[in-house]
Structure 1
Amino acid sequence: MSKTQSITIPDEVVMSKMYIIRNQKIMLDEDLAELYGVETRRLNEQVRRNKDRFPEDFMFQLDETEFSDLKSQNATSSWGGRRKLPNAFTEHGVLMLSSVLNSKQAIKVNIQIMRIYTRIREMLLKHKDIFIKVEQFEKQMMKQDEKIELLFNYLSKFIEKDEQPRTRIGFRTEKEE
């Protein structure tokens, strides 16, 4: 393979490196570095040199709990050798990376990532009505569950009363007295 030819990365591989943290879709610095074909420290070096381009809504550093949760969620210890907590890049941060990384592969992968983000957003908007209906259905089911529970509570009270001996009323024969 020549130097001008770039590696094609399947969309599934890129999508597997997207996580949701702090209610945002993010990608980690080491995953992006791997996709771009650069070392993680080089990627972070470029980010540090261009700090003004990466406000907190573009990039933030994971805290210990988030990092630990992410590692356990992925059941991997491959991140164990890090000295610093990883940087997390939001969609805008990934887009900004293209302005600080100039390799052809980085630009190509960045375009691919942006297309994937767009497809995800379109898919969510396209199926928004389904999400709303599922939410409404879940609320109805919760109400039904409450009604069923109330019904069972009433039934259990009737069953408890049936177990107690009843006093007989009405006419009795001489043998029964």
Structure 2
Amino acid sequence: MLDADLAKLYGVPTRRLNEQVRRNADRFPEDFAFQMTNQELAILMSQNATSSRETRSHGGRRKRPPVFTEHGAIMAASVLNSPRAVQISVFVVRAFVQLREMLSSNKALARKLNELERKLTTHDHAITELIEAIRQIMTPPEPKKKRPIGFAPWGDK
């Protein structure tokens, strides 16, 4: 997020936001805020139809603006003292608390599902064994081959 967009969100002038970021530079490491490259600035200027660098009378950006990640945006809210920045900080803290509660309830649900799955696996195995035992009982045994009763003459084979 560009510094101007973030300043608008927090209800402060862009120069005030940048001033506070410079004063609290240790709170904004590279993964929180960084400078846009010259090439990115040129692309931004051409996309937004901002004034050229030669003429100062038209306004627009002439320096590379700082860009903030989501963590940098939250940190900016903590270094600014505007009412809107305070509201955003409180909102973010509440969102994280709610997220933590949701995660803990999802963990409990996942644990219960795992237990149920284990029980079903155990029950499935037991039911399969029971069905096999019933089938064995239902299947009549093969009759044994009996020797014929009586006298068999030697010549009749």
TM-score between the two structures when normalised by the length of structure 1: 0.43
Normalized per residue, the structure richer in strand is 1
When Rg is computed on C-alpha atoms for both structures, the one with the higher figure is: 2
